[in-house]
Structure 1
Amino acid sequence: MNLERLINEFTELVAIESESGNELTFAKELKRRFEALGFTMSFDDAADHVPSNSGNLYGIRQGEPERRPIIFSCHMDTVTPGVGIKPQIKADRITSDGTTILASDDKAPIASLIEAIRSLDEENAELGTIELVFSVGEEVGMHGARHFDVSRLQGKTMFVLDSSGTPGKAIVQAPTAARIKATITGRAAHAGLQPEKGISAISVMSEAITAMPLLRIDQETTANVGTITGGSATNIVAEQCEATFEARSLQKDKLDRQVAAMVEALETACRKHDATLDYEVNTSYPPLLVSQDSPAVKLFKEAAESLGLTPTFSATGGGSDANIYAEKGLEVLIPACGMSDAHSVNEYILLDDLESLAQLVRAIITTA
């Protein structure tokens, strides 16, 4: 392991912009770097089907046939503001300059993968087959993972490197989520001359939202109002108002009850004020629940313990590509990757965590 080389790799990667929808330049650079490590890399046709200028990037390097093939998955896209990232190396951590994100989510694990594989090759280690899946559009709806054809994979055990927390931790449970899009139609009227003839769609929507159970519902369930738009002018009673909502829960039955409560609040307010409601509910992603007997969990435990780490497992409130891949039949696990305050200009990663992550990836590869 070469920490200086790992830091250089990471800072070079984060400087290449790859906000959601604009991953191609970064994807081409990853293709070049992993081909230099002996991987056969190829793009799928996701760019023709999802909102990105790049397809998913798949790689494979054949290894010893008696060893178990393993898959590592990372996403290539970042949230905004992710253009013009200038990483700052400080005493114990790497940050941005405070005007952008750092993009350790998800480029810290990618840099760690490169260093882990490179260092093992320098030791002439005998390794099994390694497969790589770099997805597009994870941050905006797991678009790439939804499109990726898992039948091309040789292995079944996948480590989705995409979680905050100290290396040694892992996520084994993640929520399912639903999105509600609701449009309330009232009746327009002049707000100064005849407001009583109008039905304010904005007022009706506000009443519905006030009646909804929102934010932290319980330890497993959350709900939120995402956006509200409506009205056309200050002197017109708003005829229409549109809002989007989200609900998440680790339990499908709890999610169903939460969605039903939110829809009932909308329906009740519209009945009361003689407004019209149109709405649709869509499942954003399925739940994830990983058994302690999963091959991925067992391999992770063995690898972590070989480094003197105490493996710990927990649930998260966010979804990821892992939810999608698990539904497609893969044995997944989400190891913690050290990033902190992700999705903000305060994002950072400790140097110790970056190094630990690379060591853990090495251990997973050699343990398989």
Structure 2
Amino acid sequence: MTDTVLDRLLRYVVIDTQSDPASQSQPSTEKQKHLGHVLVAELLALGLTDAHMDEHGNIYATLPANTDKTVPVICFCSHMDTAPDFTGAGVKPNLVTNYQGGDIQLAGDTSRIIRVSEHPDLKQQIGHDIVTTDGTTLLGADDKAGIAEIITAVAFLIANPGIRHGAIRILFTTDEEIGRGADKVDIQKLGAAFAYTMDGGRIGEIDDETFSADGVEIDILGVAQHPGTSKGVMENAIKIAGDIIARLPKDLSPETTDGRQGFIHPTDVTGSMDRANLKFIIRDFDTEGLAGKQALLRSIADQAMTAYPGSSMRFTATEQYRNMKQVLDQHPEIMANLTEAVRRVGLEPVTNAIRGGTDGSRLSFMGLPCPNIYTGGHSYHSPLEWISVQDMEKSVETIVELVKVWEERA
């Protein structure tokens, strides 16, 4: 197979793989397996004879070692699903060849424009070929670019057997966008010592730290009464939910925080006069800060409920993931080899803390330390999503150099 990384990306993004947070199954949508079947066929065609998809939609494959050295088995991981934030059906990718600057107006919805003033990274893309959507869907480069880059790098290694490397495991997951990407991964079957997710953004930026994350659900039972005879009796659950939301500190919301600041963020509210349900996500880089924000939210809810003596509340907190840096700091060689590979492809590595999470967050605490590598994508979860072909090629080069570094230093 002689496909380029662009060929693969264009083939993958037209397959709708949007995940569904309301579903209790895994994968949350069967259509994620449609891409999975395509990927297994391609990996088998490349000669990865153990490539297969399990019942949860996860894909496993192995590129065997071709060196006599004892090299740690490393894994490269990306996710197949796209975010529920915006539709991923009917994707019509557009290629802007030899970009020469200026805003990019999208053909399917001309009101949507990728403006240089809002996307300053475009200034670094002069002469590049840029893939966009038509403005009516996500592109899905998050994370189909990562998949395309991993498979392209594997194809390159197979075509160039003189490049020595240890065994390389490939893992493509489902449902990462709804926080379940690692739930059904079989770490023992994977058999890797370390891993790298290809799920980042701007080239040169590598991520060894994520938020720690909890989810909170508040169920409110109000007091229902006919509105004509409700004086002194009714306690409207919708209004109680609104009271809790109104009390949230404005300086602890996603829209007012950045850098290493955490937040409390309501993500869903449903209700009727007698019952209401609120869902929140809580984020902080430190576990202590996370616990403090959870305690604050509980205090806010408790205070709000004092005005409604006939009503009751159930507060349920769930651990989602933890900051992977706690694990990665115990294995400094993982980042040291990565930064060396980034320099070898002509980039200056910039270490980032992600204001979010990746499969690597969960995998790290499941016993598979796993930082995150750039794919070249921008404006994920948006119809303004775009990616440079040349940046994708740089990501492919980084994978190749990384496996070389691991072999050389073994």
Asked if these proteins are the same fold (TM beyond 0.5), I'd say yes
Matched position secondary structure for 1:344? coil
1:224-243 to structure 2, matched below 5 A, reads 224-231=265-272, 238-243=273-278
Do 1:57 and 1:134's aligned partners in 2 also have CA atoms closer than 8 Å?
Answer: yes
The match for 2:334 is 296
- Provide the rounded CA distance (Å) in 2 between the counterparts of 1:296 and 1:37: 27
The match for 1:31 is 40
- Provide the rounded CA distance (Å) in 2 between the counterparts of 1:68 and 1:229: 49
- Provide the rounded CA distance (Å) in 2 between the counterparts of 1:225 and 1:6: 38
The match for 1:15 is 14
- Provide the rounded CA distance (Å) in 1 between the counterparts of 2:230 and 2:16: 53
2:79 to 59, 72, 75: 75
- Provide the rounded CA distance (Å) in 2 between the counterparts of 1:118 and 1:186: 60
The match for 2:142 is 105
- Provide the rounded CA distance (Å) in 2 between the counterparts of 1:164 and 1:276: 44
- Provide the rounded CA distance (Å) in 2 between the counterparts of 1:324 and 1:271: 38
List per-residue Cα deviations over 1:198-233 (Å, max 9, x = no partner): 1122222222222223404673311111111112xx
Deviation at 1:335, TM superposition (A): 0.8
Matched position secondary structure for 1:31? helix
The match for 1:331 is 369
Structure 1: which 5+ runs fail to align? 48-54, 232-237
Matched position secondary structure for 2:16? coil
Structure 2: which 5+ runs fail to align? 20-28, 98-128
2:285 aligned with 1:250, yes or no? yes
Deviation at 1:10, TM superposition (A): 1.3
1:222 to 263, 278, 295: 263
- Provide the rounded CA distance (Å) in 1 between the counterparts of 2:265 and 2:318: 15
Deviation at 1:196, TM superposition (A): 3.4
Aligned AA for 2:307?
K
Matched position secondary structure for 1:268? helix
Do 2:215 and 2:318's aligned partners in 1 also have CA atoms closer than 8 Å?
Answer: yes
List per-residue Cα deviations over 1:286-335 (Å, max 9, x = no partner): 22113285222011111111112111111011111101110011221101
Aligned AA for 2:45?
A
2:62 aligned with 1:60, yes or no? yes
Deviation at 1:272, TM superposition (A): 2.3
Do 1:109 and 1:358's aligned partners in 2 also have CA atoms closer than 8 Å?
Answer: no
- Provide the rounded CA distance (Å) in 1 between the counterparts of 2:18 and 2:283: 25
Do 1:98 and 1:346's aligned partners in 2 also have CA atoms closer than 8 Å?
Answer: yes
How many residue pairs were aligned? 350
2:317 aligned with 1:281, yes or no? yes
The match for 1:87 is 93
- Provide the rounded CA distance (Å) in 2 between the counterparts of 1:217 and 1:187: 37
Do 1:41 and 1:57's aligned partners in 2 also have CA atoms closer than 8 Å?
Answer: yes
List per-residue Cα deviations over 1:168-187 (Å, max 9, x = no partner): 21111101111111122221
- Provide the rounded CA distance (Å) in 2 between the counterparts of 1:85 and 1:217: 32
- Provide the rounded CA distance (Å) in 2 between the counterparts of 1:60 and 1:246: 36
The match for 2:199 is 162
Do 1:19 and 1:78's aligned partners in 2 also have CA atoms closer than 8 Å?
Answer: yes
Q: What TM-score does the superposition give when structure 2 sets the normalisation length?
A: 0.81
Do 1:41 and 1:58's aligned partners in 2 also have CA atoms closer than 8 Å?
Answer: yes
The match for 1:50 is none
- Provide the rounded CA distance (Å) in 1 between the counterparts of 2:168 and 2:14: 26
